[in-house]
Structure 1
């Protein structure tokens, strides 16, 4: 039977992609790590890694084995925590990944209060707008925004994510406002890399719009700055642009429409029977901080703002310049 220590060595090599790095973590030489991996492959009768002179990559079999090994190691840790009662007190290293802008605006300012409440927790915060495999990368918790895909992970909804169409006054003055969602096709739409369709909810129910534009980006912060500078129309979150809407730096476009309600701010973590207390307390802290109606939405009344920005009887035309601004298609 394969020993737990061999599984631990395999998992560390898989995470780091480097035998020397895995060896340093465990106090073993690269030669010992290499020998243990080879013995494991021999025992299993399968190749777990593709080796070249420059890199080490999991095979398809290795990737499937890694996913199951991580679950086994997690259960072992939880069993030890249960026996020693260490899991009942929030302490230790807590690794969290989150989107860049949301982390900067709505988590970082409150970390001091969290650590004051739980002084035995040490935080490692990673910010990225890219999708992160929290199991492979060894994170305890991820903050994710939008619609979640089905997975083996557990998710808790922390707050709504209300998104609105908006643009800078300079863009509106030059190109006009779309009268309907169909007219968005004649405007320069600012789109995130992973988005193919804008899912909207409006007076006629749910609609989908395929946005076109001259700029795409993998950064939500870049999309926001492009909207502020008058480049085009964005579908952006209230938590991100509330101050800009209040100041008039951004104005609502088609104010009767919102992003689909399925999107939200979620805490996502591995499926475990015994959740570590350090993870649980951070989730509860954020849920308490945001509440049913988060502070960023209490600070602005979108319905009143939309009524004020779109006077009755106003005629909105699509400018010729806007139609010429979008990318060829």
Structure 2
């Protein structure tokens, strides 16, 4: 079972329920036309589909977090619009696996893996006021969510 982690500077506590890895992806047609980027240097020359206000994408390289500035023909305020633009072949998107796993399985999108870095992972967390006052029903819910989503 994963340990709970205090959140600074509050008394709030977070516990991991599941991983939700970020991935790079693009439409097969886009990849046929422009080839897959193989490194971060390649990626920054590709049109990237961004969420508004997020001009850098987080990558782990040599066990260190690196924020890479990306640019592209569009940015949007919703994950669904980023997904739709990627499917339409507009460019490369950074999405969470949960948002696109069906598209990857069906071949509508292809995963892009870089040789020199990988997108930083996200976790799904449960955040609550204190471990000491956790009602049994809340503990049961957290345990059930962990079991269902693989972090237990």
Question: For residues 73 and 44 of structure 2, what CA distance do their matches in structure 1 show?
Answer: 12
Structure 1 window deviating more from structure 2 (247-256 vs 222-231): it is 247-256
User: Which residue, 201, 206, 217 being the options, matches 2:76?
Assistant: 217
Distance 1:266 1:185 in 2: 31
Q: Quick one: which of 181, 184, 194 aligns to 2:40?
A: 181
In the alignment, is residue 246 of structure 1 matched against residue 105 of structure 2? yes
SS at match of 1:200: strand
Does the 8 A contact of 1:164 with 1:238 survive in 2? yes
Aligned to 1:291: 150
Please say which structure displays the higher CA radius of gyration: 1
Q: Report matched runs for 1:248-267 at 5 Å.
A: 248-256=107-115, 257-261=117-121, 263-267=122-126
**Paired residue secondary structure (1:186):** coil
The TM-score with structure 1 as length reference comes to 0.39
C-alpha RMSD of the superposition: 2.4
Kindly report which structure 2 residues correspond to 1:1-329, keeping only aligned pairs within 5 A, or say none. Answer: 150=8, 152=10, 153-202=12-61, 204-206=62-64, 207-256=66-115, 257-261=117-121, 263-271=122-130, 273-292=132-151
On the 8 A contact 1:201/1:258 being kept in 2, the answer is yes
Note the residue ranges of structure 1 that are not aligned, 5 or more in a row.
Answer: 1-148, 294-329
Given the two structures, how large is their TM-score scaled by the length of structure 2? 0.78
CA contact (8 A) 1:162 1:258 kept: no
Answer 1 or 2: higher relative contact order, Cα 8 Å, separation at least 6: 2
Paired residue total? 143
